[in-house]
Structures are given as C-alpha cells and as structure tokens.
Structure 1
Amino acid sequence: MAEAHQAVAFQFTITREGIDLQLSHEALRQVYLSGLRSWKKRVVRLKNNVITGVYPASPSSWLFVVIAILATMYTRSDPSMGLFFFLSLPLSFSVCLVQCQTVVSAVLFSTLLWLSLIFTMKLCLKQLLSYHHWMFEQHGNLSNTTKVWVMLVRIFSGRQPQLYSYQGSLPNLPVPTIKDTIKRYLESVRPLMSDSEFKRMTTLAKEFEDSLGSRLQWYLKLKALWASNYVSDWWEEYIYLRGRGPIMVNSNYYGMDFLYVTPTPIQAARAGNTLHAILMYRRKLNKEEIKPWLLRSSIPCCSYQFERMFHSCRIPGVIAGTPTHTVYSVVHWQDSEYVAVYHRGRYFRLWLYQAGRMLSPREIEHQIQRILDDPSPPAPGEEKLAALTAGDRIPWAQARKEFFSSGVNKRSLDCIEKAAFFVSLDEEEQGMMGDDPEASLDRYAKSLLHGKCYDRWFDKSFSVVLYKNGKTGLNAEHSWADAPIVSHMWEYVLATDSFRLGYNEEGHCKGDVNPSLPCPQRLTWDISVECQERVRRSLAVACALADDIDFHVFPFRDFGKGNIKKIRMSPDAFIQAALQLAYYRERGIFCLTYEASMTRLFREGRTETVRSCTSESCAFIKALEHGKVSKRRLFRTASEKHQLLYRLAMTGAGIDRHLFCLYVVSQYLGVESPFLKKVLSEPWRLSTSQTPFQQAELFDFVNHPDFIICGGGFGPVADDGYGVSYAIVGEKLMCFHISSKHSCPQTDSHRFGTQLRKALLDLLQLMSGDQPEESRSEQNHGPKPQSKKEL
C-alpha cells in the first residue's frame, strides 16, 4: 500500500553487492515538517513566557527605558546616582573605548531599572488584587474607595493581557482564623441539629479551638507562606487522586450538545468539525490567545487549570509497602498530534496533522469514515478493556503494572494515555427526540456519564462522544480542573462547529480531501485470559454502579433569569431557595447542602463550598409552607445571606477547605480530632453546582434562538442524596440535571424534578405580588416536618 511506504523513512537490504539503501523523500519531508512545527511551537512558547514574565509591562518598553536613559547622557546628568561608574568598572580592564563603556553601563542600568519597575508594578497589582470589599458592594452603587481601586487596577493591569499574564500578580489564598471558621461552621449546622446535638458539637468545637486547632493552624500558615495555594495540591491528591472507588459517576462529569439542534445527522461529518474546532481551541491555548476571565471586566481570575487540558491522563500506581492503597498522578505531556479513537470494540490512532499542518474538517471526516467502515473485529479482550478505568482503582493499578508494563500492550496503552484526548464513536442515537423528549434526555445524560462502562477512557482529561445520529457530548475527568474550564472549551467548540465551520447542503464538512492520507492505525493488544478476568470484574462493578443511577434532565421554559432580575433578586440565590423548598416538600426535613463556588481570584484557586441551607432559608421555607406572614421579607433575607456566603467563599473566607486542610495536617501529625472527624463525615445529601455560561458573545440567541447549550451534570455525592447541576441560559431558559440512586427508596430524580418545577413557580408568584403577603399557601406540598431528633 502507498500509505505503508510513506510511513517508512528509509529501507535497506544487505545483498552480495553490498547494502541497498532506499530513501523515501516524502517520509523524510513529513519528518522535517513535523519537526519544524514542533520548533515553531517551542519558539511561540518561549515568546509567550517572556511576554507573560514582564507583564504588565511589554518587552518593547525595555527599549523605551534604554533610549530615555541614553538621552540623559547628552544632558550631562546622572540618573543612576553614581551607579554608572560602578557598572563601568568591570569594563575598564578591556580595550573598549570610554564612550562604549558608558553606553554599555547605561544599557545595564536601564535593564536593571526596567526589571525593578516590572517587579514594583507586579507587587502593586498583587496588593491591589488582595482588596475584595468591592464584592460586598451593590453592583452599580460602588463606594468612592472602590471606584479609585478599579481605576488603579486598570492602570497597573496593562493592555492586551494573554491567558497567563496575571498569574504572577494574583494574591495567595489567605488562611482564615480558627475562630471565624468554627463560628461560621456552627452557624451553618444549627438548623440541621437538635438542641442536644448542637450543644455537643459546640463543646467539641470549643475543645478543638482551645487545644489542637492552634497547633494545626500554625502548620497551615507556614504552608501558605511557602506554597502558591495552601489548599489546591492537597485537594487534588486526597479528594480526587487517592480515591479507591470508581471515578466513573463518582467523580467524572459530562457536558451536552445543543438542546434543540443537531447541525448534521452524519456522524463522521460532526466528528470532523468537532475535532477540528477542538484543535483550533488548542492552538489558541498554546499561543495564549484566549482572554483571561475578568470579573466585572477588570478583576482577573487564575488560569492555571487550562495547562493540563490536552494530552493529560491519570496514571494509577500502588504505594510501596501498602498494597491496599493507591495513589494517582495526573501526567501531562508537552504535545500530541493524534487522538485515540474507540469504535465497536477497536482502538485506533488517528493523526490530526500532516506535513506540519492541521487536517481540515473534511479530511478528519474522511478519516473517521474509514474507521466507521473498517470491518475488522476486536482482538480477544480488547472490546471491554476500558472497563478497567471504570471500576475500582486498586485492581486497575495492579492490572496496569502486571499486564501493561511491557510489550505491545504498553505501546498501545501509551498511545491512548499520550493522545491529545479520547474520542468514542458511539453506535447509539441520543438527544432530545421521539414521543417522550424528557425520557430521551435522561438516557442521553446517562450515556454521557457512563455509557456502556467500557466505551469511554475515563482516565483521560476528557473524552468526546459522537453518536450515530450526529449528536455529540463529552465526559471529563475531574482531578486536573473544574467544570468551568472544560465548559469554556466546549462553548467555543459548539459555536465554531455551527457558526464558523458549518456544513454543505448534504451535511458533510466543507472542503476537499487529500487522497494520500494514511489510514488510521489499529492498536494491537495481547490480552491474556487472566487480564480478561480482571476486566470482567471491573466491568461488573462499573455496571452495578451505572445501573443504580437515576437521572432526570429537563429544560425549564416558564421563565428565566430575566424574570428573576425584575424582582431584584440573584438568580443563583433564587434557584438555591427553590432547591431547598423542593427538598423540604419531598422529605419534610432540611439537609446539609453543597454549592460549588470558585476561588480563582487567588493563584491556583479551585473551589470552595457555599453551605446553602441556612437558618434564614429554613425560616423562610417554614413560613411559606405554614402560612406565616412576612414571607417576602424572609425570602429576601435568605437571599442576602446566601449572597454573603457566596462572596465570602469567593474571597477566601469559606470554611470547608480550611477544615479539610486542618484535617490533613492532623493526619500527618498522627493526632485524632473528634471535631474534625465529625465535620468531615457529614454527608452532602444535596450537592449542587451551576454550569456558567462564559462566552455569550459566541452565540446569537436573537437570530438563532434554537442553538441553546443544555449544560451538563454529575452523579450524586451521597447514596441517599441528589446531585443537581443547573445552567442559566439566556434570559428565558434554565436547564436542570438531577441525579440520584435507585437503591435509595427515599430519593427519586423525577419526583424531585416535579417538586423543583413547582417550587420555582411558587417562588416567582410570591415575589411578583400576585397574591397577598399574608395569605396562606393554598396547599401544603409534601409531608410535615419531622421531629428534631429525626433532623
């Protein structure tokens, strides 16, 4: 085959006449162009490092300082205050002319001055960004101090920042005081405990604060002085990487396609545009052309999580001497020009570059179609191999070491793990379709979250799933970054696919195909019978977990954030109150509620917890359900309290990451704390998260109202709880993703969804003034509250 010959750079044979050497000029050309592309990327990376390193100044500003200092030589003044003389001393022993020595001294002084100015500007910007009182002021009604602060931030921020320009100027995450953390913790659990339970917890907290707490706090403060972020590395290691259970469902999450639109029904064509758009995003990422996320158009957020988006993978390993424990690391490679593709039990390597250039969408479609048309069967044990990444982590770590450490299995595994990302060509049809669109969305969510448990490589940073009917989606691994990072990429991909690349009239990608493209390469495996048995066990664990997941996804079209803003309330606080009301109506009790907030105002910041169930929200819900007066006032009080907690979490004054790090230190010291042990054992029966819509400028909802992204979701955190993800899309639509477990008789995702719809409508009706403030609810939705003992 021509493709096979082009894949070999040279051939030689030994004959009686000598060595017959045959060179393939095309192959050598490919090697040259590929190497040239690699060097170009290194140069771009070096240039970006220089630009980022001197920001908020620019490299050209050095020349301005040099010229300004040299100009003073003609005025016979010495701006260096005698430093010129000392800098010229090492040059006095050379044969350089005196004038040359002076110029060199001036350039050296200018460079030192320039670097000092850069350091001063970075330090000033870092101090400015440590000011967070602006977040507690009403938007549009800022104090004079904050207005001056905003002006100074803009002055010291420079112009045209790149993605990582602000990294060196972001402040470090502060360590809250033990007193404040304990006070806020006790306040958060008060509505969830009986008097006796709260008294006991208060005693434990007081003992901890007076004894062990100060000792643990000292170690945390020491780490905060030394590390960029005192939380993030421990959070990644202990919350994600050291987990022993399956990351499928329990950790990984998913993102959906457009809700109402499928740009093309051709699977290969959708793959062509999608993969090409992802490569375009990666190119922008490598060149740091992605704009940093700025709150209120001025305040930068940390961008470090973008660094491991591509060609990254979780690598399992067994800790020496402790065979029952596993530790994982996220390994990131510098570059990869291919993706790993799964289809009908086979694995392929698909090169996305040729001769140093990116393949066009039409060429990628052609290559994908080749995979779809390949009739070869999977090798023994190959079809369900990825189940190892879906099951428990200890068996996967042991199997990887035993069966994939050498030979053909290691080469094929390396190919998957070092790929830019993973692609799954699914044989099913998914999306909103059929006579029961909501049921089809539920199936769509479950498919993206776990699939068949062996058709996604769950350890990859993210896997793109492409369905037979042209629908798409992704499954993302959680340890390397949080959902907003992946969401940012996915928004760009969907918008580029539909509004920039597009399709021809037949639904195929635009452009022509290079007929000399080599076929995608089948990965080969030698899976032993023993290894196949390990795969079967992991698959059984994963399937049991997947079958237990109950999902309900629904778009809420009755109103959106536009209506909520009209009643002068925060959309997020409004939805959180509706979630509390829905849970209370269903269970008759309140529960510990987790809402994810970001701490990216600080360097290497990730997330913090907002404890949405407060005494104020409980008081409002009880008043609403039992017909008491002042319901609107109580609702606004609860909303204001929620916004306060959210702002405290964003500004480093949250409590849960602080308590978590105190617990980690106690484990390192080998001491037990009854207080910390109790705190970290409390279940989050309602775990919630908002999927932010970050690039609204990419979508034209006026001319294209059907191109709406449905957001994404995750599995339940507690066996007897709910996982709720929601996306506020535009002004008139909200999408909800609710998960729970069939094995728990107290939970039902569809039942909770019904209660949530009703709660949203009731809250808007209450605040819109359609009924008197003092009127009693027409009916009590749900069981009566249980006793304090049951709380």
Structure 2
Amino acid sequence: MYMCNQLPLPVNSNPGMVFPPRRFTTILDVSRFTARLIDGALNHKAILDKKELPLEKATSREPGQPLCMTQYYRLLGSCRLPGKQKDSQHTAANESGSEHIVVICRSQLYCVPVQAADRGRLSEDEICAQLLHILDDAPCLASPPPIGLLTAIKRSSWAEAKDALCRDDQNRRNFELIAKSLLVVCLDEALPTSFNCRLQRGGKGHTAGGRDETNLVLQMIHGGGTAYNSCNRWFDKTIQLIVSGDGACGLCYEHSSAEGVAVIQLVEKLYKDAASGNQISEVPQASSHLPPPERMEWILELDDHKRIESAAQAVDNLIKDLDFQVFRYVGYGKTFMKSCNVSPDVYIQLALQLAYYKLYGKLTATYESASTRRFKLGRVDCIRSGSPEALAWAAAMAQPKEDEKKVTFHLVSNEVKLKLWEEAVRAQTKEMIDNILGQGIDIHLLGLREASKDTSPTAAHPLPEIFTDPSYRLANKFLLSTSQVATSDDSFMGYGPVEPEGYGASYNPKPDQVIFCLSAFWSSESTSSSRFAQSLEESLNAMQTLLARKA
C-alpha cells in the first residue's frame, strides 16, 4: 500500500498535525519547549527499550480483546528508504549504543547525540543548550543546498538521486545518521499570514501570530514551499516534530510505519508533558565535556545541484495545487449525535455521503480506515461507506424543498427519510463492526492479489480475472478518502486526497463541534474544498433538523 506508491510523500501520503500553539517571546522559550519534547521522547524510548508499554485492549465491540502493539515500537528510530521500484524501511528499535536526533534549522542539518554509552543520557538543560547553539549558528551561515527537498519528489527519482549522492562516503554517512536517528526536529520560521489566504468557513480555532488554522496545518503538511519551510524537512522520517518561532508547533509523520492512533498517543503525551513544565528564564549552561552538535556537510556534484533545483520546482508546483481548508462545524458535536443513539463515526460518515451526493448526484467509492489491531501485525481495513442504503437515504434527503420544486412529483416524507436513515445507520454500523472484527473484504483481497503476483503471472497463468476487471479498479479508486482522527486536546490532523479528482476528509468529533480538514486539488475541474465544506455544513444542519423531529 505504501512501499510501492511512487508519488511524493508530502500532500499525497504524509499527514500533518497541529498542536495547540504556544506563546514564545525568546529563542530560549523555543529551545526549552523543544528540549522538553525531546526529553519526553527519550522517556518514552526508555519504556519501549524495557518492553514495558502497557498492553491495550479493545473497549467496545467484543471488549477486552488484546490489541497488537507492534506499531508503537517502530515509531522512534524508523525511516522510509527510497527504492527505484519499491521502498523499504529502516527500523532502529533494536539497536543499542549511542542514540541521536537530527535537528533541521534554516535547511542546515545537525546531528545531536542525546545518549551515549560512556556518559549516559543528556539532561533537559543539556538538550536545551544544544538547541540554542543551533538556533545561534544556523542564521549565521550561508543557505546550503536543500538536500531535504529530494525526499519530497517522486520516489524512484529520489532513489536515483540518493544513489548518486552515496558515491561519496561523507554523504553516505549523513544518510545513515538520519535514518538511524530517533526522530527529526524542524525548527521553523513562521509562515506569513497571507499564505493560503482565504475565507475560512465555520468556527475559529487556535491561531499563532495571527495565522489561521488552515495556515498552521499547511506548515505541518508540507512546510509552505521552498520560500518558507519545505527545505527544512526530511519527509522520509517517521516522526518530524515541528516548532516555529511564533508558537506554532506540530508534527509531520511518514505513514508507512504506523497508523494515526499510535502516533497521536505518543505526540500528545510529549506535548502535554512539555506544555505542563514551568517557564524557565535562565539560559542553561552547556556541559564543558559536551561537544557542539555536528553540522552535516554534503559533497555535491553539478548533477546533484540540478536535481535539487528540479525538486524545488516540483515541490512548489505540488504545494500550489493543494486546495485545503480547516472547517470547524460548530452547530453541534458528538453529544447530539450520541443522543440520537448513533455512533458519532457512523453519523459523520453518512454526513460525508450526503455532502458528496448533494454536489454530484451520486456516491463514490469511499475509504474509511478501520483498525485491525485485534490481529497480529494488524493495520487497517477499509470501511466502505458508499452503501445502497446510504444512497437511498441521501437521494431522499437531497430532494428539493416543496417550495423549490420545479415540476410536480411525489416528495419523500420525513417519516420515510427517518426510516431510510435508520437503514443507512444499520448498514454503516454493520460495515464498521465487520471490518474491525476482521470480516472486511479489502485486506483479504489485497493478500490474495499479492500472493498471486508472487507466483510470477505468465500468459499461461495470468492474475485471476477479479484483479484485472474494471470493476475492481473502480472499487479501489477512492474519490473520498476519510478517517476519524480523534485527539484528547484541541489538536487536529489533516492530509491530502489520494486521487487527482478526489477529496481528503479527516474529522475530529468534539462534544459541541467537529473539526474537519478537507482537501482537494486546484487542478481538478470537478472538486473544491470550499464547495464541499458548504455542502457538508448544509448536510449536517439538515440531519439535525430531521433527527430533532424524531426526538
């Protein structure tokens, strides 16, 4: 699903997550907060090293079943590696000895040891002092060739570029340091308030330096382009913590190692611990025996520079094409949804179906991730929300109001709409439960398809017809890619569409509102995140009106 996908990681694959913004007044504030994030990651790594992470168990739908914890153990120290046909993964979870992180500031990459066999683990003060050194050093240097941009291009092109760079021993060592690092920290500059300036629909959430939430999440997803922070990234790295001088902070994560639930649990814990500490105004004293961070130097040939220039143009074009907005629906939230005796996830999925139907007069293949962690090494299956029952209900709901009808025909009554609603809810609920209990269809078919490929299909023994049939390809063309990304605080996560003519729609239900991150591509003549947000708002309002009658 991931390793064979040749598309660039930013926008197409890596999600971005926004934390509640901080208030920084000095670079010491930035360094101290970032040091606490890193210190928290080291505390978590110590728990992982001892295999003491508590076993999670299902809380609903056959509660008590143990959940596979493998994803949690490969978040720190992992990195995706480019390949010409297929990518691979480096996992450093079982490596011992010296441990380090990589910090990127103004496109300069620094290796910062955080634990060594001969002296133990760095303290928070020592980490803070290292970060202060970087924040002081990087602005004094000429801008380096932004090697990190190469991680944002087509995977096979990145693999070729990396092979060329690895002909030099120093470059090869740099790549090894990055791959084996526990995580990457990106010390960013703020995006201007004018970046992606547009009218934001719905309620207003957190801001940083006057920037709205759409502006903030775009910084986390792609950095804002080569003029801003996209050169300050290493998109292959599983965990990239991002801290900006104006208080914006968050995460960009490479998706192949783990699903959002595992990542969110980790970074929310890191943020909570870092944010709860007391403000310390004293500048930490660097230990006399502690060398400054190692700044990575790169040996580049003319062709390497040309590849970086080409990458810069490709990255900027990709970013300009992303049509993205955060939409806070404030009419109601999961409290009302639960009062209707409906799972908030089921409720919102049907709202997304109605919103799509109102725009296009039809439904489409819809992807919603369903955790399969009840099974060993389980990741996700696909909850297909575009059911016949959802279609019948959406068609009834989308009929014009009586005073809007242009011709005489029989309007569906509210009683019939409610009946169709209940049928759609039952179908969606069953689909959801079937998937999390391992009774979905997609990963089973995927396993059979990959097993068939392993038999080296020939003219005499081709792939089974089901995998070459147009209906199979159509069923896997997800023009609506959705996911519930629930958080315990007011953070949220967003991502791009998975198809050129499609939408991405993450949602985060709160008691009195729902945070949506909606995405499309400007190059598509048929999609618009603004129109989808408007249709979604109208759909949620209409559903409340209908269900209030039932109450």
Q: Does TM, normalized by the shorter one, top 0.5?
A: yes
| Superposed CA offset, 1:568-623 (max 9, x none) | 11100110111111111122221111111011111111100011011111111112
Shift of 1:269: 2.4
Counterpart CA distance in 1 for 2:47 and 2:174 is: 29
Match of 1:483 in 2: 260
One-letter amino acid of the structure 2 residue matched with residue 417 of structure 1: A
Distance 1:262 1:375, change over 3 A: closer
Match of 1:587 in 2: 360
Q: Is the 8 Å Cα contact of residues 392 and 538 (structure 1) preserved in structure 2?
A: no
Deviates more, 1:401-410 or 1:649-658: 401-410
Q: Is the 8 Å Cα contact of residues 355 and 536 (structure 2) preserved in structure 1?
A: yes
1:327 aligns with 2:86: yes
Counterpart CA distance in 1 for 2:134 and 2:324 is: 32
**Residue correspondence of structure 1 range 6-45 to structure 2 within 5 A:** none
Counterpart CA distance in 2 for 1:679 and 1:240 is: 22
Shift of 1:285: 2.2
One-letter amino acid of the structure 1 residue matched with residue 467 of structure 2: L
**Residue correspondence of structure 1 range 714-733 to structure 2 within 5 A:** 714-729=495-510, 731-733=511-513
Deviates more, 1:426-435 or 1:742-751: 426-435
1:308 aligns with 2:106: no
1:389 aligns with 2:151: yes
Counterpart CA distance in 1 for 2:209 and 2:537 is: 21
One-letter amino acid of the structure 1 residue matched with residue 492 of structure 2: G
Match of 2:542 in 1: 762
Shift of 1:412: 1.8
Structure 1 unaligned regions, length at least 5:
1-238, 319-325, 697-707, 772-791
Match of 1:681 in 2: 473
1:472 aligns with 2:249: yes
Q: Is the 8 Å Cα contact of residues 264 and 270 (structure 1) preserved in structure 2?
A: no
Aligned counterpart for 1:294 among listed residues 45, 57, 70 = 57
Indicate the SS of the match to 1:327: coil
Match of 1:247 in 2: 9
**Residue correspondence of structure 1 range 424-439 to structure 2 within 5 A:** 424-429=186-191, 432-433=206-207
Shift of 1:517: 3.5
Counterpart CA distance in 2 for 1:632 and 1:449 is: 40
Counterpart CA distance in 2 for 1:515 and 1:768 is: 69
Identity %: 28
Counterpart CA distance in 1 for 2:207 and 2:498 is: 29
Q: Whose Rg is larger?
A: 1
Counterpart CA distance in 2 for 1:337 and 1:667 is: 39
Match of 1:404 in 2: 166
Q: Is the 8 Å Cα contact of residues 254 and 475 (structure 1) preserved in structure 2?
A: yes
**Residue correspondence of structure 1 range 328-477 to structure 2 within 5 A:** 328-333=87-92, 334-335=95-96, 337-353=99-115, 356-374=119-137, 382-429=144-191, 432-433=206-207, 440-451=212-223, 452=225, 453-477=230-254
Counterpart CA distance in 1 for 2:209 and 2:273 is: 31
Shift of 1:458: 0.9
Counterpart CA distance in 1 for 2:240 and 2:322 is: 20
User: Which of 1 and 2 has higher RCO (CA within 8 Å, sep 6+)?
Assistant: 2
Q: Is the 8 Å Cα contact of residues 429 and 469 (structure 1) preserved in structure 2?
A: no
Q: Is the 8 Å Cα contact of residues 344 and 378 (structure 1) preserved in structure 2?
A: no
1:608 aligns with 2:381: yes
One-letter amino acid of the structure 1 residue matched with residue 380 of structure 2: T
**Residue correspondence of structure 1 range 94-243 to structure 2 within 5 A:** 239-243=1-5
Match of 1:493 in 2: 270
**Residue correspondence of structure 1 range 62-73 to structure 2 within 5 A:** none
Counterpart CA distance in 1 for 2:473 and 2:255 is: 22
Q: Is the 8 Å Cα contact of residues 191 and 219 (structure 2) preserved in structure 1?
A: no
Match of 2:444 in 1: 658
One-letter amino acid of the structure 2 residue matched with residue 332 of structure 1: T
Match of 2:47 in 1: 284
1:543 aligns with 2:316: yes
Counterpart CA distance in 2 for 1:556 and 1:632 is: 23
Counterpart CA distance in 2 for 1:312 and 1:659 is: 28
| Superposed CA offset, 1:165-191 (max 9, x none) | xxxxxxxxxxxxxxxxxxxxxxxxxxx
Q: Is the 8 Å Cα contact of residues 108 and 138 (structure 2) preserved in structure 1?
A: no
| Superposed CA offset, 1:29-79 (max 9, x none) | xxxxxxxxxxxxxxxxxxxxxxxxxxxxxxxxxxxxxxxxxxxxxxxxxxx
| Superposed CA offset, 1:74-117 (max 9, x none) | xxxxxxxxxxxxxxxxxxxxxxxxxxxxxxxxxxxxxxxxxxxx
Match of 1:701 in 2: none
Indicate the SS of the match to 1:617: helix
One-letter amino acid of the structure 2 residue matched with residue 329 of structure 1: S
Distance 1:541 1:375, change over 3 A: closer
One-letter amino acid of the structure 1 residue matched with residue 546 of structure 2: L
1:503 aligns with 2:279: yes
Q: Is the 8 Å Cα contact of residues 33 and 275 (structure 2) preserved in structure 1?
A: no
Match of 2:198 in 1: none
TM-score when normalising by structure 2:
0.86
| Superposed CA offset, 1:672-723 (max 9, x none) | 4443222442221111001134xx5xxxxxxxxxxx3322111101111100
1:598 aligns with 2:371: yes
Indicate the SS of the match to 1:350: strand
Counterpart CA distance in 2 for 1:435 and 1:408 is: 40
Counterpart CA distance in 1 for 2:210 and 2:365 is: 34
Distance 1:434 1:294, change over 3 A: closer
Shift of 1:538: 2.4
Q: Is the 8 Å Cα contact of residues 168 and 299 (structure 2) preserved in structure 1?
A: no
Counterpart CA distance in 1 for 2:537 and 2:315 is: 32
Counterpart CA distance in 2 for 1:282 and 1:653 is: 35
One-letter amino acid of the structure 2 residue matched with residue 289 of structure 1: E
1:578 aligns with 2:359: no
Aligned counterpart for 2:331 among listed residues 553, 558, 571 = 558
1:635 aligns with 2:427: no
Counterpart CA distance in 2 for 1:556 and 1:291 is: 35
Distance 1:460 1:289, change over 3 A: same
Distance 1:413 1:653, change over 3 A: same
Shift of 1:264: 4.2
Distance 1:722 1:760, change over 3 A: same
Shift of 1:469: 1.2
Counterpart CA distance in 1 for 2:103 and 2:70 is: 28
Q: Is the 8 Å Cα contact of residues 264 and 503 (structure 1) preserved in structure 2?
A: no
Q: Is the 8 Å Cα contact of residues 306 and 485 (structure 1) preserved in structure 2?
A: yes
TM-score when normalising by structure 1:
0.60
Give the number of equivalent residue pairs: 503
Match of 1:181 in 2: none
Match of 1:712 in 2: 493
| Superposed CA offset, 1:269-314 (max 9, x none) | 2212221122222222222333222112622111111222111112
One-letter amino acid of the structure 1 residue matched with residue 220 of structure 2: L
Aligned counterpart for 2:431 among listed residues 620, 629, 645 = 645
Q: Is the 8 Å Cα contact of residues 281 and 492 (structure 1) preserved in structure 2?
A: no
C-alpha RMSD of matched pairs (Å): 2.4
Counterpart CA distance in 2 for 1:620 and 1:768 is: 17
One-letter amino acid of the structure 2 residue matched with residue 448 of structure 1: M
Q: Is the 8 Å Cα contact of residues 720 and 741 (structure 1) preserved in structure 2?
A: yes
